């Protein structure tokens, strides 16, 4: 992460929520517990969420596989012990790209 000040994961995600919530049909996290409590949704479809200080986005399986292969992302397993094929973790070190991946994820779930 480059820049003069370092944001915490929560601060970075709050900024992303502000940016994405300005778009039509996008809703901020509800704050509820469980899967999706910290998620951005579009037309009731979860597309991005903050999990353990990292962005998790829903993308096509081929894109998820490519992000994992190039080291940008890691598999997301929702503590089930098995990766979810359309979800990828984008760690804080790649937070400059969080808006791009959130936008792609929103397009994917509404496409």
Is residue 94 domain-resident?
Answer: yes
Residue 4 domain flag: no
pLDDT at 5 (0 to 100): 62
Chain-centre distance of CA 45, in angstroms?
13
- Residue 62 covered by a domain: yes
Neighbours of 109 (CB within 10 A): 18
Residue 3 lies in a domain: no
pLDDT the model gives residue 1: 45
The reply to whether 1 falls in a domain is no
Whether residue 2 is predicted with pLDDT greater than 80 in this model: the reply is no
pLDDT of residue 102: 98
For residue range 27-86, what is the model confidence (pLDDT) as tens digits? 999 887 777 778 999 999 999 999 999 999 999 999 999 999 999 999 999 888 899 999
What is the extent of the structural domain holding 35?
Answer: 9-110
**Angstrom distances, CA of residue 12 to CA of 9, 59, 79, 86:** 5, 20, 23, 23
User: Is 2 inside any structural domain?
Assistant: no
């Amino acid at each position: 992460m480059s820049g003069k000040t370092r944001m915490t994961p929560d601060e970075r995600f709050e900024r992303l929520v502000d940016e994405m919530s300005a778009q039509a049909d996008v809703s901020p996290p509800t704050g509820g517990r469980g899967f999706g409590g910290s998620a951005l949704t579009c037309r009731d479809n979860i597309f991005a969420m903050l999990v353990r200080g990292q962005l998790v986005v829903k993308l096509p399986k081929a894109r998820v596989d490519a992000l994992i292969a190039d080291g940008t992302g890691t598999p997301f397993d929702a503590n089930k012990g098995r990766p979810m094929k359309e979800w990828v973790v984008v760690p804080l070190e790649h937070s400059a790209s969080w808006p791009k991946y959130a936008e792609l994820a929103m397009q994917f779930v509404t496409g």
